[in-house]
Structure 1
Amino acid sequence: MIVILVIITSLVILFFIVFQKRKNKLLLDKIKQQQAFDAELSNAQTEIQEQTLKNIGWELHDNVGQMLAAASMQMNILKTMIGDDIKENFSEAASTVKESLKEVRMLSRSLNNEVILNIGFEQSIENELNRLKKMKFSTAKLLVKGEIIPFENKKHEIIVFRILQEFFSNTVKYSEAKNLIVKLDYSNDYLNIIASDDGKGFDMDSVKKGSGLLNMKSRAELINTTYHLTSKVGEGTKLELKYPFNNKTEFS
């Protein structure tokens, strides 16, 4: 009887161990499937967003840009037909249309990922800061430290640039900042990025997490980049990104 009880007990224990291992394996498989699904969903959303931005860029360049260019030409023609008494005011209006055309063209380029890849990461940031300086800021500058290392994965380059664009957009809309600074620090293993403004800041604990903040974080996670956003009321906002150059994260 004792032998039988020992055998039965051993079988029960063995069955429990096998069952527990199988249960754990199923749970791990489910977690991996969920992670793969979440990653695929993020990839799809990113691709859709990029295509949408590209389409908007084309529309701005081809339609709005052409209309503004035509308006500028017509105003230059009309300028020769008006009297000197209203020529000064007319010149100001013509200048406004001309500047608007430049702004639309710069904006269309910043929305098209093919243009960004063509002119390069640093120049794209420089162009964006120059555009924002004309719109909003007293100072908007880029500082680069170390020897520049190009991105091996060009999709990662676009995503990092879009994160910075989102930060710039939030700064323009909410911060009331006068100065905006972006620092790129290249080392052998990492690209450290710090973007900061001197605006009114916000309370990190109470602020509603809008789509802009969520987009920045999810994009960073998608390419295995460390993301850290800090802000204090009255002390501005700072975004820190740490992108690893040995980053092998892939997505379709």
Structure 2
Amino acid sequence: MFFIAFQKRKNKLLLKSFKDQQRFEDALFKSKIEIQEQTLKNVSWELHDNIGQLLSTAVMQINMLNTNLDPELANSIQDVRSLVGDSLQEIRNLSKTLNNEVIQNIGLKESIQVELTRFEKLNFLKTKFSVTGDKTDLHPKDEIIVYRIIQEFFSNTIKYSQASSLEIKIEYQIKNLIISIKDDGIGFSKKNAKAGSGLLNMASRSDLINAKFEYETAPGEGVSLRLTYPFKSNNEDIKNNELG
């Protein structure tokens, strides 16, 4: 009886230690996410306010120069002005995708569209985007995390996949939000997937919002992702707001 009581107490302590460790790891990961979001927000401000302002000034100065030049040189200057103007617009679009406040203001669909339009303009990828079902609002903090998961997939596609096209589908169901993304790149073997490939980061972010994260890939077959996000009840939203 003494041994059984001792074993139960030991198991109870081990379970408590495991739960404490799990809570610590969750808190640590949430802190990392918050730090990343603040860093991205700061970069967004720098791009929009500082670099954006410098490019705007350059455009104005080019316009002033253009009035005092012969027509042939003026055409060359106009080409430079167009390049600087396009760069300014790209900087502004990029700053939108980094700032979580902008994402919350314009919404998930529009934020994704901004990113895909940028890929098209830069000739990175041909994209296809569709949304079905009646829109249901996500918890604001969860919406940011969902978008960052999608961005991580986009980043991996640009960096590693050698893909020429990218397709994303959003489906609003009664209880879930289903997001499916697929590229037509070179794919990879799951056995050889590296920890730094972004997969662990996407999976960890998914766990943070209780979403189901699934992906399929094989050499020569591209990569596909399916994210299932369960809509929260009003009580859960209130609880999340209190915790946040």
Scaled by the length of structure 1, the TM-score of the pair is: 0.90
Match of 2:212 among 200, 223, 226: 226
CA root-mean-square deviation: 1.6
Query: Aligned-pair distance for 1:235?
Result: 1.8
- After superposition, where does 1:73-112 map in structure 2 within 5 Å? 73-112=60-99
- 1:162 alignment counterpart: 148
Unaligned runs of 5+ in 2: none
- 2:159 alignment counterpart: 173
Cα distance per residue 1:153-191 (max 9 Å; x no partner): 210000000010111111112222221111001111111
**2:232 corresponds to 1:246:** yes
SS of the equivalent of 2:128 reads strand
**2:112 corresponds to 1:125:** yes
Query: Aligned-pair distance for 1:136?
Result: 3.0
Task: State the distance in 2 between where 1:117 and 1:109 align.
Answer: 11
SS of the equivalent of 2:171 reads strand
Query: Aligned-pair distance for 1:88?
Result: 2.7
**Contact 1:126–1:141 at 8 Å: present in 2 too?**
no
- 1:42 alignment counterpart: 29
Task: State the distance in 1 between where 2:65 and 2:176 align.
Answer: 56
Task: State the distance in 1 between where 2:201 and 2:67 align.
Answer: 50
**Contact 2:170–2:179 at 8 Å: present in 1 too?**
yes
Unaligned runs of 5+ in 1: 1-13
- 1:150 alignment counterpart: 137
- 224-233 or 83-92: which moved more? 83-92
Query: Aligned-pair distance for 1:211?
Result: 5.4
SS of the equivalent of 1:210 reads helix
Task: State the distance in 2 between where 1:73 and 1:173 align.
Answer: 35
Between Structure 1 and Structure 2, whose CA radius of gyration is higher? 1
SS of the equivalent of 1:46 reads helix
Task: State the distance in 1 between where 2:75 and 2:186 align.
Answer: 39
Match of 2:51 among 53, 60, 64: 64
- 1:9 alignment counterpart: none
**Contact 1:192–1:240 at 8 Å: present in 2 too?**
yes
SS of the equivalent of 1:181 reads strand
Query: Aligned-pair distance for 1:20?
Result: 1.1
Task: State the distance in 2 between where 1:191 and 1:207 align.
Answer: 27
- 2:19 alignment counterpart: 32
Instruction: Describe the shift of the 1:92–1:68 C-alpha distance in structure 2 as closer, same or farther (beyond 3 A).
Output: same
Task: State the distance in 2 between where 1:138 and 1:19 align.
Answer: 62
The residue type paired with residue 13 of structure 2 is L
SS of the equivalent of 2:195 reads coil
Task: State the distance in 2 between where 1:235 and 1:170 align.
Answer: 15
The residue type paired with residue 128 of structure 1 is E
The residue type paired with residue 224 of structure 1 is N
Q: How many residues are paired up? A: 238
Query: Aligned-pair distance for 1:214?
Result: 2.2
Task: State the distance in 2 between where 1:56 and 1:149 align.
Answer: 30
SS of the equivalent of 1:144 reads strand
Scaled by the length of structure 2, the TM-score of the pair is: 0.92
- 20-29 or 136-145: which moved more? 136-145
